[in-house]
Amino acid sequence: MTDAAHAEHEVQGLKTFITDWSTDQEAFKRVHWGKAMMWIFLLSDTFVFSCFLTSYMTVRSSTTLPWPNPSEVFALTIAGHQTPLLLIAIMTFILISSSGTMALAVNYGYRHDRRTTMILMLATAVLGASFVSMQAFEWTKLILEGVRPWTNPWGAPQFGSSFFMITGFHGMHVSIGVIYLTTIAIKVRRGDYERRGNYEVVEIAGLYWHFVDLVWVFIFAFFYLW
């Protein structure tokens, strides 16, 4: 192929690309544009959380000061006895359960069952709000015990910064998700998606929520069990 023909081929390809994106069709043809954009966002967010967790593992492995024992730090005192990781176990159970209600919401959305879809999405949002409330209680408990981003009373000062950064960033995602799901549930109740003829937006919201739940599994394993 000559240089002129190659240049003409590239120009033609660029014109085709512009035409695809400027038409009123789905840019990815067989994939809803919102779903494609959500996957791109989740991929970028995966890199961020991966960096956080990798940094946490590096700091914990390299520090020369004692690292607090999670079973003791995150224990709850009940009837005079310390129960290790009880609150964290409840939080994990709630978040995993919310994945189930979200999956059911998507299923009933594609059945065009507006009422059940709305109820399941609101139930998911309530579970998410419960998780954030428990996380706020956990933060308050540790702050009262003297944990700060720059220090903690049990050893390595990096513990405080790692804890607040990682759990705080995840908690922000959960809080945004609660608002997001509540908004979509209201629109489902109004019949917005029924008039459009599809409930793909519910599935897109489900992708976000499942991602948030999956990230927590890694945080739970690396931060609370290690």
Q: What percent of the chain has pLDDT over 70?
A: 88
Instruction: State percent of the chain over pLDDT 90.
Output: 56
Mapped onto helix, strand or coil, the DSSP state of residue 3 is helix
Write the pLDDT tens digit of every residue in 20-40: 655 555 555 566 778 888 999
If one compares 101 and 9, the residue with the highest pLDDT of the two is 101
- What is the average pLDDT across 116-136? 96
Structure-model confidence comparison of residues 25 and 134, the more confident one? 134
User: pLDDT at residue 129 above 70?
Assistant: yes
Q: How far apart are CA 209 and CA 212, in angstroms?
A: 5
Encoded tokens for 194: 């029924």
With helix as H, strand as E and coil as C, how does 32-101 read?
CHHHHHHHHHHHHHHHHHHHHHHHHHHHHHHCCCCCCCHHHHCCEEECCEEECCHHHHHHHHHHHHHHHH
**pLDDT score of 5:** 64
Give DSSP secondary structure letters for 103-152: HHHHHHHHTT-HHHHHHHHHHHHHHHHHHHHHHHHHHHHHHHTT-BTTB-
Rounded Cα distance between 37 and 163, Å, is: 30
Is the Cα dihedral 7, 12, 13, 14 positive or negative? Answer: positive
Which position has the token pair 């700091």? 59
More confident residue, 80 or 129: 129
pLDDT digits (tens, 9 = 90+) for 159-205: 999 999 999 999 999 999 999 999 999 999 988 888 877 888 999 99
**Per-residue pLDDT tens over the stretch 45-59:** 999 999 999 999 999
Query: Residue 57 is encoded by which pair of tokens?
Result: 């593992």
Closest of 226, 211, 219 to residue 92, by C-alpha: 219
Name the band, by pLDDT with cuts 50, 70 and 90, for residue 121: very high
DSSP state, 31? S
Looking at mean pLDDT, say which of 7-16, 154-163, 193-202 comes out highest.
Answer: 154-163
Helices 158-190 and 200-219, interaxial angle, to 10°? 160
Position 76, amino acid: L
What's the burial of 12, exposed, middle or buried (CB within 10 Å: 0-12/13-18/19+)?
A: exposed
